Structure 1
Amino acid sequence: MKKWIYIALGVLVVGFVSYQWYSSKNSTQTASASVRTAVVQQGKLEVKISGSGTVQPVTSEDIKSTIDNNEIDEVLAAAGDEVKKGDELITFTDGSDPVTAPADGVVTTMSVTAGERVTSGQVVAHLTNYKDLQTVVQIDELDIPKIKRGQTVSLKVNAFVDQAYTGKVTAIAEEGTSTNGVSTFDVTIHIDKPDNLKVGMSTEASILTASKDNALYVPLDAIYTSNNQKYVIIASSDTTNQNSGSEQKTVKTGLANEDYVEITDGVTAGETVQLPQLATGSTTNNGQRMMQGSGFGGGFGGFGNTGGFNRSGTGQRQFTGRSGN
């Protein structure tokens, strides 16, 4: 009986030791695999702010009579007619100045008939131009100071996912709308070539607010902070040991967004920088944090030309970077 007890205990001990060895080996391999690096890239760095909205006509207005108590002689246009600016729409029996189209467009409604008398200020028709379109998007209050008239815009329309549209900022609202303590502002974007677009379609706009050629840039989590200084870790050639031969370099930063940051001083193109480990729950030497939080403490604090992270919702920053040859 004792023999079987010893055998059972022996099997348990061997199994436990084997399990510990396997777990330790697997943990080492996982730690090694989690060492991450990135190469310092050089190319065009673009910072964009995004917002969503709908397609609207640039011209959509009521046409009003300027004549008081005059009788209409003829109504020269009907709903659905396409007219040019200055075309006569309504004439009067007494020869008064006719009502004319204030712009190119389509007469969407005609509210009067021949023989009817009109008063000054009375709406007699409505005009809409479906060939000259714009979109109005909502931008977060944190980003609105960076939006300027004339900025170029890339547009996506949900109805035409494979087609790209462009435009320019033409107007910025002076007053915002507050919802749940967050204010947004309407930004009007004139669409360059609104082929196939219809009023009411949903749009996503990316407004280019900053751009720099030949910029050096790295992923955001490659930057660490200590004593109000930013630095990177130049990665060791031994990728299995993140601290073997690594070098800490102080850097200065420039343009930034939610993915990448420009480095204006401290590194050169092609250098390899160390990124935080994928493992969580502890910190490494030199004060660098794990992926749970990069060296920024969750924001862009201190970056030139950027400000802080956007709140969720409209006005998210985007990045476009193209490496140099």
Structure 2
Amino acid sequence: MPQIKRVFEGFFKKSLLFRITTLLLAAGMVWLVYTNTIGKKSSMPQFQTAKVEKGTIVSTVSASGQVLTTNILSITTEASGVVKKVNVKDTDRVFAGQKLAEVTLDTAGLEKNAQAFASLVSAQNGVNSARNSYRSAVATAEKVLDEVKGHDKDETFTQKESRTKAEVARDNAYDGMKSAEANLAAASLSYRSTTPIITAPFSGVIGSINLVEGMVLESAASTTSINSQRVAVIKGDSLPVISVGLSEVDVPKVKVGQKVTVTLDSLADKTFTGVVATVDRVGATISNVTSYTAKIKLDSASGEILPNMAATANVILDTKTEVLIAPASAISTRDGISIARVLKNGKEEEIQVEAGLVSDTGVEIISGLAEGETVITGTISAARSSGTQTRSIFSGGFGIGGGSR
């Protein structure tokens, strides 16, 4: 201590310039030592790491769209008058053709029903006539064909003309019969909608009934035209269908029968499952962007799913279990070669790996890495307080591009 005291006393006896110079030299020495040891060490990059682990990896294609149908159909009537009786209530299960309600028709309703019945009878007569014409045309064509049978090579012009006329008449008669049958179907529906008996169009569960015994079903302003009114809805037993658009990169990977998971924007906490039912391979181009429609049939129905709800579907391309998986951010591609960044003895190394399936967050490692090995998923430079993380150049390689996950 006396020696240190004498050194300080001697130092302060020196001139001011000497003391300042000495202090500056000492500070410079300290800074030099720091920057070459501690400072240099602290400026080295810091790595974010993860372990290669065994697990299940799922490769998917993502597409967005909307609920196409939930198999909910409005039950309507063109009848007008007073509701006489309501035979069902909400949540009742009904069968096709079951009587739901009865209406006592007013004058406008009776007139509309009578007109519809007349149209139905006329359409039925038209079908009968068209079928007779078709049978006659078929008989004539068969007779002509019998006459020219065996004359394929020496058929005369007259025979060919007769055969052609008979075949054309037969085909026209067939088309006329089909047209008459379509008119009959339309007339039948129109008549049924004007009758006082309201029935279920198919089997399902009734809901949203807005009929009350004694209430009046109003007619339109014109007595010759009555508006169709919704009296209830019926939810069928078939399953909801989702329609989504696929990019031209993804459509070759999607096939009928593949499993799908579906989420709806309005039901974000629920996930539904289904299968790919159809895939349109023709597509449509809008603003130089081609999209291909796929329809997905859900495995189960839900009363919460409504028509036109926005949906996101993940089509499962492949699934593997008990495989090595590395984070996608640890794998990059370079000239078609998969590269993994690994941490060994505190230093970064790059090694070539063989990659398999790719998911949203992981890559299957076929060879090149072992279970438990440490890979680098990001780098944080100490010189940048914001902690900027380096990005992997992995960008949907290995043939799972576009919307693939």
User: Please, what TM-score do these two structures have when normalized by structure 2?
Assistant: 0.51
How far apart, in 2, do the equivalents of 1:226 and 1:276 lie?
A: 18
SS at match of 1:268: coil
Amino acid at match of 1:254: G
- The whole-number CA distance in structure 1 between the counterparts of 2:242 and 2:33 is 63
The one-letter amino acid paired with 2:372 is G
Q: Which position in structure 1 is the counterpart of 2:242?
A: 135
Give 2:361's match in structure 1, choosing from 237, 250, 259.
259
1:176 pairs with 2:189: no
C-alpha contact (below 8 Å) 2:46/2:382 kept by paired residues: no
Q: Residue type of the partner of 1:166?
A: T
Q: Is the 8 A contact 1:72 1:116 kept in 2?
A: no
Cα deviations by residue, 1:172-223 (Å, 9 ceiling, x for unpaired): 34423535x4433333323323242333433332221221122222123433
Q: Give 1:45 deviation, angstroms.
A: 0.9
Please name the residue that 2:143 is paired with: none
Residue pairs, 1:110-149, within 5 angstroms: 130=235, 132-149=239-256
Local SS of the residue matching 2:256: coil
Q: Using a 3 Å threshold, how does the CA distance of structure 1 residues 228 and 206 change in structure 2: closer, same or farther?
A: closer
Q: Take 2:21 and 2:28, find their aligned partners in 1: how far apart are those partners?
A: 11
1:194 equivalent to 2:206? Answer no
Asked whether the equivalents of residues 51 and 373 of structure 2 are also in contact (C-alpha less than 8 Å), the reply is: yes
Distance in 1 (CA, whole Å) between partners of 2:353 and 2:24 is 55
Higher relative contact order (CA 8 A, sep 6+): 2
* Structure 2 residue 220 is matched with structure 1 residue 208: no
Partners of 1:165 and 1:193 within 8 A in 2: no
Letter paired with 2:357: L
Q: Tell me the residue number matched to 2:63.
A: 51
Per the TM alignment, residue 145 of structure 1 is displaced from its structure 2 partner at its CA by 2.0
Partner SS, residue 372 of structure 2: coil
- Distance of 1:62 and 1:212 partners within structure 2: 45
What is the CA–CA distance in structure 2 between the aligned matches of 1:195 and 1:185, rounded to whole Å? 29
1:63 CA displacement: 9.7
Q: Which amino acid aligns with 2:242?
A: T
Relative to 1, partners in 2 of residues 1:3 and 1:215: Cα closer, same or farther, differing over 3 Å? same
Alignment of 1:273-288 (within 5 A): 273-275=375-377, 277-279=379-381
Query: Does 2:272 match 1:165?
Result: yes
Give secondary structure in 1 for the equivalent of 2:364: strand
- Residues 1-150 of structure 1 aligned to structure 2 (within 5 Å): 3-5=15-17, 7-8=19-20, 10-12=22-24, 14-15=26-27, 18=30, 25-26=38-39, 28-29=41-42, 31=44, 33-34=46-47, 36-59=48-71, 84-86=95-97, 93=114, 94=117, 96=120, 97=188, 99=192, 103-104=202-203, 130=235, 132-150=239-257
Q: Secondary structure at the match of 1:31?
A: coil
Give deviations 1:269-311, integer Å, cap 9, x for gaps: 3333455644499xxxxxxxx96454xx55344x15x2x3x3x
Shift of 1:41: 1.8
Contact 2:341 2:375 (C-alpha < 8 Å) held by counterparts: yes
Q: How far is the alpha carbon of 1:157 from its aligned partner?
A: 2.8
Is residue 315 of structure 2 the alignment partner of residue 217 of structure 1?
A: no
Deviations 1:113-170 (A, max 9, x none): 699779xxxx967897556433333333322222222222222233333333222222
Deviation of 1:10 (Å): 5.0
RMSD: 4.9
Q: Write the distance in 2 (CA, Å) between the matches of 1:149 and 1:225.
A: 31
**What SS class does the counterpart of residue 369 from structure 2 fall into?**
coil
Which is helix-richer, 1 or 2?
2
In structure 1, give the amino acid aligned to 2:296: I
- 2:170 aligns with none
Distance 1:168 1:101 in 2: 29
Q: Could you tell me which residue of structure 2 aligns to residue 272 of structure 1?
A: 374
Cα pair distance change 1:228/1:161, threshold 3 Å: closer
- How far apart are the structure 2 equivalents of 1:162 and 1:262? 29
Q: Structure 1: which amino acid aligns with 2:268?
A: V
Q: 1:183–1:63: structure 2 CA closer, same or farther, 3 Å change rule? A: farther
Return the alpha-carbon distance in structure 1 between the equivalents of residues 218 and 334 of structure 2: 74
Structure 1 gap segments, 5+ residues each? 65-70, 282-289, 319-325
Aligned equivalent of 1:285: none
Structure ID, larger Rg: 2
Identity of aligned residues (%): 23
Mapped partners of 1:189, 1:229: distance in 2:
36
- The residue aligned with 1:323 is none
Change (3 A) 1:102 1:13: farther
Q: 1-side partners of 2:290 and 2:28: how far apart?
A: 60
- Contact (CA 8 Å) 2:379, 2:390: kept in 1 or not? no
